Amino acid sequence: MFPQENHSNGYQQGPGVGYSHRERVRRGTRRSRASTSSVRVYDQHQPQHRPPCTDFDVAYFHSYAHLGIHQEMIKDRVRTETYRDAIMQHQSSIAGKVVVDVGCGTGILSIFCAQAGAKRVYAIDASDIALQANEVVKANNLSDVIVVLHGRVEDVEIDEEVDVIISEWMGYMLLYESMLGSVINARDRWLKPGGLILPSSATLYMAPVTHTDRYSDSVDFWRNVYGIDSEFSTW
Ligand SMILES: C[S@@+](CC[C@H](N)C(=O)[O-])C[C@H]1O[C@@H](n2cnc3c(N)ncnc32)[C@H](O)[C@@H]1O
């Protein structure tokens, strides 16, 4: 857990995105002794739970930095209200408990958990949207409950076990964003035995389809490009 004095505004910036790879290598040599610093710098030794942050990761987190994508998700009432309903249905497991929100975005699920009576919520996001989340937390007078950690789940440190993990990790075709691994990382590092994960199961339905127009447009197209038989269709 970050030192108490760093919790005053509920916001922490961890290492990871926000720094170039070179900066991270340069900075990541020694733990800072300055307790008032808002930047936590980690030891050079890379624990197994901390995979490298690739350029792809940086681009991915950048794509979540702007409000537009979050507005789209929050406006999806089926998605957002299903999460709120699930939180309220599990209120007895959340009230008075410690929660981690893996990929908190604007902090909406963290706030639902606070409304359900959570004792403390660690709201983690590596994207700069964490800065907005922290403002939302402050505007709702929840800084004493919700601690926003700006960094990758794999990089931030929480110094206590948690009772609940909540996360909206589902991408296109369920697994597309590959975010489930981060939820599992959080589970393995912090969740108490018997703790709650929301959601903890999902069903993926698949059906084969034939879409001849789409096939022709994207595959057959390459068979004759201005009279050239291109190889691209076999890629
Ligand atoms: C689908 S959005 C959900 C946002 C928010 N929980 C909500 O329901 O509106 C996923 C969020 O997780 C963050 N994220 C994904 N992988 C992460 C990781 N390994 N560490 C920290 N944040 C992560 C992204 O930056 C993004 O903001």
C-alpha span between 91 and 129 (Å, rounded): 27
Mutate-to-test residue for ligand 1 from 67, 102, 172, 174, highest number of ligand atoms within 8 A of CB:
102
Indicate whether residue 126 lines ligand 1 (CB < 6 A): yes
What's the pLDDT at 230?
75
Give the three-state DSSP class for 209: coil
Alpha-helix runs per DSSP H in the chain: 21-27, 55-63, 67-75, 77-89, 91-94, 108-115, 129-139, 180-190, 212-218
What are the tokens at 95?
A: 């009230």
Q: What is the pTM of this model?
A: 0.79
Indicate whether residue 87 lines ligand 1 (CB < 6 A): no
Instruction: Name the residue ranges covered by the structural domains of the chain.
Output: 4-198, 205-235
Q: How far is CA 27 from the centre of its chain?
A: 23
Nearest CA to ligand 1 atom 27: 105
Instruction: Please state the CATH superfamily assignment of the domain spanning residues 4-198 in this structure.
Output: Vaccinia Virus protein VP39 (3.40.50.150)
Report the separation in Å between the CA atom of 141 and the middle of ligand 1, taken as the mean of its atom positions: 23
The DSSP bridge partners found for residue 191 are 162
What's the pLDDT at 224?
85
Q: List C-alpha distances in Å: 24 to 11, 15, 149, 166, 213.
A: 20, 7, 17, 28, 47
Give the three-state DSSP class for 142: coil
What's the pLDDT at 234?
60
Q: What is the pLDDT of residues 16-65, one digit of tens each?
A: 443 332 222 222 222 333 333 333 333 445 566 788 889 999 999 999 99
Report the separation in Å between the CA atom of 105 and the middle of ligand 1, taken as the mean of its atom positions: 5
Of the two residues 47 and 114, the one the predictor is more confident about is 114
What's the pLDDT at 144?
98
**Ramachandran region of residue 202, left (φ > 0), alpha (ψ -120 to 50) or beta?**
beta
Q: Which of 29-33, 96-100, 141-145 has the lowest mean pLDDT?
A: 29-33
Nearest ligand 1 atom, CA 155: 20
Indicate whether residue 155 lines ligand 1 (CB < 6 A): no
Catalytic residues: 168, 177
Closest CA to 114 of 150, 88, 133: 88
Indicate whether residue 108 lines ligand 1 (CB < 6 A): yes
Token look-up 């299903």 returns: 82
Mutate-to-test residue for ligand 1 from 13, 56, 60, 61, highest number of ligand atoms within 8 A of CB:
61
**Burial of 68 by CB count in 10 Å (0-12 exposed, 13-18 middle, 19+ buried)?**
exposed
Indicate whether residue 152 lines ligand 1 (CB < 6 A): yes
Indicate whether residue 186 lines ligand 1 (CB < 6 A): no
Report the separation in Å between the CA atom of 125 and the middle of ligand 1, taken as the mean of its atom positions: 6
Average pLDDT over residues 129-144: 98
Residue type, 160: E
C-alpha span between 65 and 150 (Å, rounded): 12
What's the pLDDT at 50?
82
Q: What is the mean pLDDT of the chain?
A: 82
pLDDT at 1 over 60: no
Of the two residues 228 and 64, the one the predictor is more confident about is 64
Q: What is the pLDDT of residues 181-217, one digit of tens each?
A: 999 999 999 999 999 999 999 999 999 999 999 999 9
Q: Which of 94-98, 187-191, 226-230 has the lowest mean pLDDT?
A: 226-230
